Structure 1
Amino acid sequence: MAMQGQAATLFEREHRFFFATACLMALVLVAGFSTNILLGRSTFAVPPIFHLHAFVFFGWVVLYLAQTGLVASGSMALHRRLGWLALGWVPAMLILGITILLTILRRTGGPFFFAKNEFLFGNMMGLATFAGTVLWAISLRRRTDWHRRLMLGAMAGLTGPGFGRLLPVPLMMPWAWWVSAVLFPALFIVAGMVADRRRLGRVHPAYWWGMALLVGGQLVAQAIAYSPVGYAVTEAVTAGTPGTARPMQAQWP
């Protein structure tokens, strides 16, 4: 009975950790985009595709927050039913993510503190890694230890845009992409590793996979972006649009 009580306490602590982490991720994203609006760096006066993109991506944040909250409160039946929304939501995120990425590159060439090719391929790889990790997590939904940790890794990768709007990234060139899209999001995975070490005495392998996918995916993206093919594709994407006027490399305007 004592062992069962200890196991129950361990699971409760774990559930609380995942819900608290989800809240912090949501806070980073909301704070980042809100700060941009308050400082006048962004506006609601944009084409409808931007609003649709925001609705779908923040919808995922709400879904993830709700799912971790349902687990923490013990509402597992509703958690399982709601989880199937992800199968339709993730493809919509992929389509809108790619669409908005190409739209931004053609309108402005992307943020000046990121190289154009880095911005293109880094985001493409980030979307692919996110989708693949979520689908992997869904396939392991009966193995809850893997499922929840893979989902945390996937969600961590989405926090890059929030950190990019909160950090002084122009001062971090030419490492701005790595700092905002990899280093700071990876801290959530590191937090999971530390929590595992304290609770279980070891780090669950799902976290190592999550870290490998986050960092390794961006290493692959960089290799492609800075290859002749990467440069050519980037130029082709922006050809004949205002985005082609912006230099390929990151630099102050």
Structure 2
Amino acid sequence: MTTLIDDRRVRARDASPARQFYLHMALACAATAFLGFAPTYWLPLAHRTLAASPVIHFHGLLFFTWTLYFVFQTWLAASGRVANHRALGIAGVSIATAMTIFGFLASVHSMTHSAALGQAYAGVSFAIVPMSGIAFFAAVFILAIANTRRPEVHKRLLLLAAVSILDAAIARWFIVFLAPPGPPGPPPVPVTIAPAVVASLLLVVAMVRDKRVEGRVHPVYICGTLAMIAVKVLNWPISETAAWHWFAGGILAMAQ
């Protein structure tokens, strides 16, 4: 009986309006992901005009599954179903692991595709964008799992992880509405910085909420946002180094 009463108290506390914030943020991430890929993935897929390899399709399936899983998990937490939220945590570990693997495979596939177009150098340079992105996501997710007993840190890290992979979706709108027509192939690495900055605005919203509700901005948001933007900016100079081309070029050579 005591356990039941305690569980009800936890539900009542966690179902407060302030706890709904993370559910709203998860929904915003999901909307950004699905709308972002609508013009270049969902609509062509619906019209059967999309030509993509099975690796790319499975990569997309995993990432969209993660987005829906993130919404569901935040809904469970927001509604006070903490036990269910924790029980499903192992599923998140499995999805994130598969995302990391197929994110890497999708990067290798993009390099081989670029090489087939005669743009091997550009493909190897651009590979740093998806590879560093999935590495950042994996690192933040691992930190979130390591901090499950610190919910204030855990939930902020998971939001950071979710936002960190939205730049690809936002970039699709840049491509559709801003990019001039050009030959097929990977875009220049510097153009990926702007979508990452736009994605980080979701974290700015979270910081404003922290300041208003908690009285201070949590260090996870400050350090995490700075680290995320730093990775995107540093991709540019690193992508042109001999060391990167030796590393990624070696991967491309093994894949061909």
Superposition TM-score tier, normalisation by shorter sequence = 0.7 to 0.9
**Partner Cα distance (1:10, 1:197) in 2:** 20
Judging changes above 3 Å, is the alpha-carbon distance between structure 1 residues 106 and 150 closer, same or farther for their aligned structure 2 residues? same
Match among 80, 91, 107 for residue 85 of structure 1: 91
Instruction: Indicate whether 1:147 and 2:162 are aligned.
Output: no
2:223 match: 209
**Partner Cα distance (1:142, 1:38) in 2:** 38
1:251 match: none
**Partner Cα distance (1:144, 1:183) in 2:** 26
1:5 match: none
SS of residue paired to 2:27 = helix
CA deviations on 1:188-210 (whole Å, 9 max, x unpaired) are: 11111011111122101111121
CA deviations on 1:154-203 (whole Å, 9 max, x unpaired) are: 110111111011224526977421011x2012111111101111112210
Asked whether the equivalents of residues 18 and 68 of structure 1 are also in contact (C-alpha less than 8 Å), the reply is yes
Match among 203, 219, 233 for residue 189 of structure 1: 203
1:65 match: 71
Judging changes above 3 Å, is the alpha-carbon distance between structure 1 residues 43 and 29 closer, same or farther for their aligned structure 2 residues? farther
The alpha-carbon deviation at position 123 of structure 1 amounts to 1.5
CA deviations on 1:100-149 (whole Å, 9 max, x unpaired) are: 11112211359x9xx53442112211111111111111111111111111
CA deviations on 1:201-230 (whole Å, 9 max, x unpaired) are: 210111112113312323443343121222
Within a 5 Å distance, the mapping from 1:21-36 to structure 2 comes to 21-36=25-40
Alpha-carbon RMSD across the aligned residues, in angstroms, is 3.1
2:102 match: 96
Structure 1 gap segments, 5+ residues each: 1-7, 243-253
**Partner Cα distance (2:137, 2:154) in 1:** 14
Asked whether the equivalents of residues 194 and 203 of structure 1 are also in contact (C-alpha less than 8 Å), the reply is yes
Judging changes above 3 Å, is the alpha-carbon distance between structure 1 residues 17 and 39 closer, same or farther for their aligned structure 2 residues? same
Judging changes above 3 Å, is the alpha-carbon distance between structure 1 residues 104 and 79 closer, same or farther for their aligned structure 2 residues? same
Within a 5 Å distance, the mapping from 1:45-64 to structure 2 comes to 45-64=51-70
SS of residue paired to 1:58 = helix
Instruction: Indicate whether 1:162 and 2:169 are aligned.
Output: yes
When structure 1 is superposed on structure 2, of 233-242 and 215-224 the one drifting more is: 233-242
CA deviations on 1:29-73 (whole Å, 9 max, x unpaired) are: 111222214665994443222222122111111110101111111
The alpha-carbon deviation at position 26 of structure 1 amounts to 0.6
Asked whether the equivalents of residues 169 and 176 of structure 1 are also in contact (C-alpha less than 8 Å), the reply is no
Letter in 1 for 2:37: F
**Partner Cα distance (2:217, 2:86) in 1:** 26
Asked whether the equivalents of residues 63 and 99 of structure 2 are also in contact (C-alpha less than 8 Å), the reply is yes
**Partner Cα distance (1:238, 1:64) in 2:** 33
SS of residue paired to 1:170 = coil
Instruction: Indicate whether 1:178 and 2:184 are aligned.
Output: no
Count of residue pairs the alignment pairs up: 233
**Partner Cα distance (1:209, 1:43) in 2:** 42
Asked whether the equivalents of residues 154 and 210 of structure 1 are also in contact (C-alpha less than 8 Å), the reply is no
SS of residue paired to 2:16 = helix
> Structure 1 vs Structure 2: percent identity of aligned residues?
27
Letter in 2 for 1:62: L
